[in-house]
Amino acid sequence: MNILELLNNFFEEDKTSKLSSSTKLYFFLIYQANEAVKTALKSQVILIDDLGTKTFNWINDKIRLITEEANRNQKSLIISTNLNPQELINSLELRTASRLTELVSKQGIIYLGEEDYRRKKREEKEKTGNHFKDRF
């Protein structure tokens, strides 16, 4: 089933349903995200982008699941984040941080220590008052 068929089935008019369209959309997005995690877990190399930018229970659960899978099955885990290593560990649940620390001891860590260029650019624009320069 392709994504359009899935969307059509998911939002098909159901007279008995008490769920609003926004609630249905929320459940659909969670379903899609769960499917993406399942697909990622089949790979030997897993990439997590911008880890630590948002913290929700669902995200924490998935990050723990991914780190446990990578640890248990010797998969490579690549993480991008704007946090330094200590901030990253502090942003995670204790179990997840522990699993990630185990992985780092096995696989190593490459910390570039680069500043977030988007944040730096935004701060420069705010100082100069050119908030809308790039938009027009």
Q: What is the pLDDT of residues 45-99, one digit of tens each?
A: 988 888 877 777 778 888 889 988 888 898 888 888 888 888 888 888 888 888 8
> At what angle are helices 94-107 and 57-72 packed, to 10 degrees?
30
**Residue 74 forms part of a structural domain:** yes
Where in the sequence is the domain holding 65, given as residue range(s)?
Answer: 45-109+116-130
Percent pLDDT > 90 in the chain is: 2
Per the structure, how many domains does the chain have?
1
Whole-angstrom CA distances from 78 to 44, 51, 81 are 11, 10, 10
**Residue 38 forms part of a structural domain:** no
**Residue 67 forms part of a structural domain:** yes
**Residue 11 forms part of a structural domain:** no
**Residue 101 forms part of a structural domain:** yes
What is the Cα–Cα distance from 23 to 34, expressed in whole angstroms? 17
- Reported as a single tens digit per residue, the pLDDT across 34-44 is 888 899 889 99
**Residue 27 forms part of a structural domain:** no
**Residue 75 forms part of a structural domain:** yes
**Residue 135 forms part of a structural domain:** no
